[in-house]
Structure 1
């Protein structure tokens, strides 16, 4: 067995066996560059030189009913996040227009909370219509949507439904105890069945093992999600994980490369925690690790980097931002 042989297997469209996956996970640190080259080769074969860009707005913030250990917006912790109800649709559309001016084609409307009530449903519907009218792809991350809500929002112009599974079923109870993992899986499955572009991934560096990471990737593949956001923990004061050290860049790069091997034809988007782990100086390595998408601008409760700088780094890497 060799890494090149495993890479060829992926490029030929053959699924990886358990020994293949174990081989990648157990690669020593001095072979990281070799792994990244193979992952980038797979990414280029599947997506060419394009980098998909998306941006979000924190449209409803704070006092979430769930107790996810990493989240500043949980009402169970002492994290100091902003607290406000769903923003007016006009404000959301204004933020989307700004993103469009920076060349962004997908715009995510993100809201804290588990379920969506009637009042917020009206607001989301209007916001989706306004973002779609700009010629952008409106995405929505509102918690768990019911099939009827998904259908109505799709009719209004919704293109993508985002709902992270966050981690494996095995590790989930150590991260969240206020709802069942099966509820999240059902929400993702409903989005896929509704014919939406489903974005579902996880957050890494919260104490999960490599086995947990593999388990999550294989479930996402089985569910048929098209886009997998990869978030890295940014420890936030007041949350249970405030003292946890962020992932080392080398471990994060290996994780992205592993996901490219396991999910060769799915969009891998690097989202929250990117600056925490990589700063501004190692972005080129990240773009060569198998990822084909970036969230740009600000995150939910954390300031992001410069969109202009991201576009410059994409150009320096010999890649092109996706324009449609």
Structure 2
């Protein structure tokens, strides 16, 4: 069975009306071939337009603690198991953690996040990050942290100090996780998300693509994120950094990236989908089409150990496409 563009639009309209297609329909979407990716995108674009109009969410991060991570995530240059040439430093002092936020306060960026290396921050470090953000003006930006696997007490402390969102990626689906990381379990990540939600934090959780997953496993991850009812889904595309296990192993194409974004939008129609690391490197000349594929947000500026588009470049792209930043 081959879908026409009208078929994709009809599926999108069904989703917009609040109905959930059967898993067989989603599986067929995941099997869309390259020549039909733009038809698939048409439905994803319609869903995005209905629920998010032409407003784009912008976020930026600070790499607050870098390198020497105890975990063996095969894509990550910060793992102590890898030999990547990166900057290594302990948790930044408060003034450095706050610097990026102050620089963004009069811009179109909506959310500022502090990200740290390691399985999870120590209790005193969690409190330092929370206190640093609590001292910032709360009306200028929304604040997020990504501090690894924490306990309930830590999550409560973050919530009580004005942090609204916790970021913790699943990275990939359950059936593929052991091929990506073995130093902690998938349930460790699931339970961290549940603890954040229990504390009243919104949750940003997604994954990285291009690490050997199949399209069926892309769909599996989308279903898992839907089940967890996360609030935002960051999509990262592998940058095969020298010194990591995945050095030289990325087989993504621009059309595959657009297809992954579209699948996520069909499964998660009302969830923020934010395109993050690897978007320029992998989408290349098709990079501006991420919004037509269903995304309604991008991470701007640099990533953890790789460079990204700077804010003014991203704002020019958004405006040239007829979009605007979210108020």
TM-score, L = length of structure 2? 0.95
1:116-265 to 2 correspondences below 5 Å: 116-133=121-138, 135-265=140-270
Is 1:49 aligned to 2:78, yes or no?
no
Mapped contact 2:58–2:297 kept (Cα < 8 A):
yes
1:35-74 to 2 correspondences below 5 Å: 35-74=40-79
Which whole-Å deviations, capped at 9, do the CAs of 1:12-45 have from their partners, x for residues lacking one? Answer: 1111211111221122222211111111100011
Is 1:300 aligned to 2:308, yes or no?
no
Which whole-Å deviations, capped at 9, do the CAs of 1:145-202 have from their partners, x for residues lacking one? Answer: 2111111111111011000000011100011110111000000111122221200000
Q: Return 5+ residue gaps in structure 2 as ranges.
A: none
Is 1:311 aligned to 2:318, yes or no?
no
Which whole-Å deviations, capped at 9, do the CAs of 1:117-161 have from their partners, x for residues lacking one? Answer: 132123112222134546211100010121111111111110110
Structure 1 residues 246 and 312, CA, compared in 2 at 3 Å: closer, same or farther? farther
The secondary structure found in structure 1 opposite 2:44 is: helix
1:253-292 to 2 correspondences below 5 Å: 253-279=258-284, 281-292=285-296
Mapped contact 1:62–1:83 kept (Cα < 8 A):
yes
Query: How far off is 1:75 after superposition?
Result: 0.7
Query: How far off is 1:282 after superposition?
Result: 2.6
Once residues 187 and 137 of structure 2 are traced to their aligned partners in structure 1, the CA distance between those partners, rounded to angstroms, is 31
Mapped contact 1:107–1:138 kept (Cα < 8 A):
yes
Once residues 316 and 307 of structure 1 are traced to their aligned partners in structure 2, the CA distance between those partners, rounded to angstroms, is 14
Q: Return 5+ residue gaps in structure 1 as ranges.
A: none
The CA RMSD over aligned residues, in Å, is: 1.3
Once residues 287 and 103 of structure 2 are traced to their aligned partners in structure 1, the CA distance between those partners, rounded to angstroms, is 24
Structure 1 residues 282 and 102, CA, compared in 2 at 3 Å: closer, same or farther? farther
Mapped contact 1:232–1:246 kept (Cα < 8 A):
no
Which whole-Å deviations, capped at 9, do the CAs of 1:224-265 have from their partners, x for residues lacking one? Answer: 100000000000111010011351000000110010000001
Once residues 311 and 79 of structure 2 are traced to their aligned partners in structure 1, the CA distance between those partners, rounded to angstroms, is 28
* Aligned length, in residue pairs: 322
Query: How far off is 1:116 after superposition?
Result: 1.9
Deviates more, 1:209-218 or 1:92-101: 92-101
Mapped contact 1:63–1:83 kept (Cα < 8 A):
yes
Mapped contact 1:235–1:245 kept (Cα < 8 A):
yes
Mapped contact 1:58–1:110 kept (Cα < 8 A):
yes
Mapped contact 1:233–1:246 kept (Cα < 8 A):
no
Is 1:89 aligned to 2:103, yes or no?
no
Mapped contact 1:89–1:130 kept (Cα < 8 A):
no
Query: How far off is 1:98 after superposition?
Result: 1.1
Once residues 299 and 9 of structure 2 are traced to their aligned partners in structure 1, the CA distance between those partners, rounded to angstroms, is 30
